[in-house]
Chains A and B, each alone.
Chain A
Amino acid sequence: AQSVAQPEDQVNVAEGNPLTVKCTYSVSGNPYLFWYVQYPNRGLQFLLKYITGDNLVKGSYGFEAEFNKSQTSFHLKKPSALVSDSALYFCAVRDKNNAGNMLTFGGGTRLMVKP
């Protein structure tokens, strides 16, 4: 079975400060890992993914995430937060051996960036 945990329901950051949104996962094999963002009244938008290779993955809007196999984590980061980054963020995992491409999503973390 595969699972994802996002331990923080909400993260509050001041504009211009670095932000981190945490994600830990559990899979039986090697993981594919994803971050999605959901803006109000919109569907989920893909931010970035880790499939293989470099542990630091860069994505849209200046976001990046670091895959840490020993800690089974895939935290989302950005060096300088913008008010427009305020949204709901979802981490998702898929076991590489799952040919059906089923994603398991975390519960989501709401990011609030204050001016």
Chain B
Amino acid sequence: DADVTQTPRNRITKTGKRIMLECSQTKGHDRMYWYRQDPGLGLRLIYYSFDVKDINKGEISDGYSVSRQAQAKFSLSLESAIPNQTALYFCATSDPGTATYNEQFFGPGTRLTVL
């Protein structure tokens, strides 16, 4: 969905490096999410944010941190990357105030490889 953008789209890094993945949205949604996708495991929730001042841990938050800089921006950081964090990362948004309540809108993903 072009309304949700992620940068970078691909990143290769080394163990121990700090990495930031960025997500921006023009949908005006309050709620934003970070997921990781691993083969056979589907998408697992890392962190979510209901507004700029509300950030919550998801299912697999260890090793990750987030920052909600504005309604439109939600960044995911890997403080010290490790190989098992190699995955496809997705940002998503949703807005409970619209007719599409419960529907999440996904960005194109960031493929991260940790060597």
Which A residues contact B (CB, under 8 angstroms)?
4, 6, 9, 32, 34, 36, 41-46, 49, 51, 90, 94, 100-103, 105-108
Contact = CB atoms under 8 A, between A and B. Distances in A.
A105 B42 contact: yes
Interface of chain A, main secondary structure: loop
B31 A101 contact: yes
B102 A107 contact: no
A106 B43 CA distance: 8
A51 B109 CA distance: 27
Given A9-B40, A43-B1, A103 B104 contact: yes
24 contacts: A32-B102, A36-B106, A41-B108, A41-B109, A42-B109, A43-B1, A43-B4, A43-B90, A43-B107, A44-B43, A45-B1, A45-B106, A49-B103, A51-B102, A101-B31, A101-B96, A101-B102, A102-B45, A103-B45, A105-B35, A105-B42, A106-B42, A107-B42, A108-B40
Interface residues of B, number: 26
Contacts of B1: 43, 45
Interface string B38-75: 00111111001010000010100000000000000000
Contacts, number: 56
Contacts of A106: 42
Interface in B68-91: 90
A108 B108 contact: no
